[in-house]
Chains A and B, each alone.
Chain A
Amino acid sequence: MNILELKGVSFTYPSGTEALKEVSFTVEEGSAVALLGSNGAGKSTLLDLLLGIHANGAITLCGRPLASYGRKEVGRLIALVPQSEQFNFSFSLLDYTLFGRSPYLSQMQSPTALDAQIAWEALAEVGLAGFEERSITSLSGGEHQLLLLARAIAQQSRILLLDEPTSALDPANRKRTLSLLQRLHNRGKTLFFSTHDVNFAAELATHVVMLKGGRLLAAGPKEEVVNTAMLTTLYGTEMRTKTIDGQTFMY
């Protein structure tokens, strides 16, 4: 089943900058889609559109136009892991993770014991069990990224949108994030992530969407779409592969 469908999506900012032109592709439920493209190719705009930040009639979510959903309804279907989050208040890790339960709370309701249970489990899932009462301002870069993931996991959505999930991580934390996302994917969660890390995409993705200058360059299963010639066209610089210890790396 197609959980997301884009039919000729275009978007122009009020300043006149045309960010996306006639982009069409579908996302199957349970797939892991990597969104590749150079800086300024329209990746962030596309993520914003999928989130519903800019209204667009050409996007369908679970068979219904995205624009016809209420805010909380979308929150129960799509969760966002931003690239980073600035923490100006020292919430506890548990408080912050509980914010992911907001789409399930009614107007005056505070989180219930069940919500707290779900948040605890999400923190345990990302490996932050035992730190529930710690302040979010005391986290390292790697823990920061894991916490953003925990909040999104607590949202119990069907789709996880991730904006460059590995851009600020060292190799150990990158590996942790990768195996965590693989686990979520194996459990049937649909992943849609933008990244500049081609090898990360190759390891995690089942499908790839390539954007160049706001237009769709290619979209489809990873094996059909990703090759050095296509990546060279995508990034406008020569891309090569190298095999080390039986694993192929692109650079």
Chain B
Amino acid sequence: MAMIAATLLFALLSLFFGRYPKPGFYVPLDGRSNALMHSILVNVRLPRIALALLAGSMLSASGYAFQMLFSNPLVEPGFLGVSQGSAFGAALMIVLGASSTVTVQISATIFGLFALTASYVLARHFRFGGWLLRLVLSGIAVSAIFSSALAVVKLVAEPTKDLQDITFWMMGGLWNASWGQLLSILPVVLLCEAIIITERWKLNLLSLGEKTSFSVGINPKRDRTILLAVATVGTTLVISVTGLIGWVGLITPHLARKLFGSESSFSLPASMVVGSFFLLVSDTIGRTLLPTEIPIGLVTSLFGAMIFIIILTLKHQEGKA
């Protein structure tokens, strides 16, 4: 509860952080009479804050689900090629001249799912190491393939417009946030979140051995496939409008489990709230700290990596895989 309150409070405060009319924190008491200020609040900052909250919770939920589904606290969708796959999908559409956001989103989702499937199938055929190691290795291979493909796309991209769009993708950012963008992903993302929350008890069971989860009355193969697809679709939709934002899905589940225990009834929703908070703080810092905006992906990577190092050095309980 305290975490939700803190997130909402910060969301409210964040509304008054910005560079207009002066850099820093400013509460516009003349909001109603000042049309420009009003427009900035309602049409620029508010959708951006809402998008940060939505994206943070979805990336966290996906990361959480991936960790449970692969029974490995060290994975997130990015580790299995999903991020690079969808980045390639989006870049391809941008270069091919797709004008609508929806086309870019669909392409990003399809390639994200394809990358995940490729990682999974490859890992099954690898003849080296245990299942989790094989999965991480195949994820690295698939990511590398899509990275090089992406580099080729960037080479042929038209430098003044397309290349900029693609670069935005790679670094992640919410500066294009608008109500239209938010609404274009909102229904499906909320649906994905709802499915993951509904199936949170199953996530516990799927983190156990295959035979044990089968013996307590679920169908691990089917349930794992469905939840992986849901988590991947949610992630790719989010990054199709925000660009690549790393580390959120990896560290927020860790933090939530430290605070609320590993059982997902509490730690999954908590992880989503922490994710929203983390992304909102990162975005607010990114847009106010320096005169030019720092891409959010860079901020989350910096903070995420630092928190990750602290978590892993403090106590080695979760990171046995």
Chain A residues within 8 Å of B, Cβ to Cβ: 48, 51-53, 71-76, 78-80, 82, 85-92, 95, 99-100, 102-103, 105, 107-110, 135, 137, 155, 161
Q: Known contacts A48-B211, A85-B212: does B219 contact A71 (CB below 8 Å)? A: yes
- The CA of A179 and the CA of B218, in the complex, are separated in Å by 31
- The CA of A109 and the CA of B217, in the complex, are separated in Å by 14
Q: Known contacts A95-B261, A102-B217, A105-B201: does B71 contact A88 (CB below 8 Å)? A: yes
B197-236 residues at the A interface, CB under 8 angstroms = 198, 201, 204-205, 207-209, 211-212, 214-219
Measured CB to CB, the nearest residue on chain B to A108 is: B198
CB of B318 within 8 A of chain A? yes
A48 neighbours in B (Cβ, 8 Å):
211
B212 neighbours in A (Cβ, 8 Å):
80, 82, 85
DSSP majority for the B interface? loop
Interchain CB contact under 8 A, A80 and B211: yes
Q: Known contacts A71-B217, A100-B216, A102-B218: does B209 contact A86 (CB below 8 Å)? A: yes
CB distance from A8 to the nearest CB of B (A): 24
Measured CB to CB, the nearest residue on chain A to B319 is: A88
- The CA of A109 and the CA of B318, in the complex, are separated in Å by 27
Chain B residues within 8 Å of A, Cβ to Cβ: 68, 71-73, 198, 201, 204-205, 207-209, 211-212, 214-219, 257, 261-263, 265, 317-318, 320-321
CB distance from A148 to the nearest CB of B (A): 8
A-B contact pairs, 11 of them (CB 8 A): A48-B211, A82-B209, A88-B73, A88-B321, A89-B71, A102-B201, A102-B205, A102-B218, A103-B216, A107-B198, A155-B216
Interchain CB contact under 8 A, B216 and A86: no
CB distance from A220 to the nearest CB of B (A): 27
Interchain CB contact under 8 A, B219 and A99: no
A72 neighbours in B (Cβ, 8 Å):
217
Interchain CB contact under 8 A, A80 and B217: no
- The CA of A74 and the CA of B219, in the complex, are separated in Å by 12
Interchain CB contact under 8 A, A90 and B262: yes
Interchain CB contact under 8 A, A75 and B209: no
Measured CB to CB, the nearest residue on chain B to A92 is: B261
Measured CB to CB, the nearest residue on chain B to A80 is: B215
Closest CB pairs A-B (n = 9) = A75-B217, A80-B215, A103-B217, A72-B217, A89-B262, A102-B216, A95-B263, A91-B262, A71-B217
Q: Known contacts A82-B209, A86-B71: does B216 contact A95 (CB below 8 Å)? A: no
Residue with the greatest number of chain B CB neighbours at <10 A, chosen from A51, A87, A90, A137: A90
Given B73, B198, B217, B219, which contacts A89 in the complex, CB threshold below 8 Å?
B73
Interchain CB contact under 8 A, B204 and A99: yes
B263 neighbours in A (Cβ, 8 Å):
91-92, 95
Interchain CB contact under 8 A, B214 and A53: yes
Interchain CB contact under 8 A, B320 and A79: no
- The CA of A71 and the CA of B222, in the complex, are separated in Å by 12
A91 neighbours in B (Cβ, 8 Å):
204, 261-263
CB distance from B92 to the nearest CB of A (A): 36
A102 neighbours in B (Cβ, 8 Å):
201, 205, 216-218
Given B211, B218, B318, which contacts A51 in the complex, CB threshold below 8 Å?
B211
CB distance from B227 to the nearest CB of A (A): 14
Interchain CB contact under 8 A, B215 and A79: yes
CB distance from B175 to the nearest CB of A (A): 37
A86 neighbours in B (Cβ, 8 Å):
71, 209
Measured CB to CB, the nearest residue on chain A to B70 is: A88
- The CA of A85 and the CA of B210, in the complex, are separated in Å by 10
Q: Known contacts A95-B262, A135-B317: does B205 contact A89 (CB below 8 Å)? A: no
Interchain CB contact under 8 A, B211 and A82: yes
- The CA of A22 and the CA of B265, in the complex, are separated in Å by 45
A87 neighbours in B (Cβ, 8 Å):
320
B201 neighbours in A (Cβ, 8 Å):
102, 105, 109-110
B216 neighbours in A (Cβ, 8 Å):
75, 99-100, 102-103, 155
Given A79, A99, A108, which contacts B208 in the complex, CB threshold below 8 Å?
A99
A75 neighbours in B (Cβ, 8 Å):
215-217
CB distance from B205 to the nearest CB of A (A): 6
- The CA of A76 and the CA of B215, in the complex, are separated in Å by 9
A52 neighbours in B (Cβ, 8 Å):
214
- The CA of A194 and the CA of B73, in the complex, are separated in Å by 32
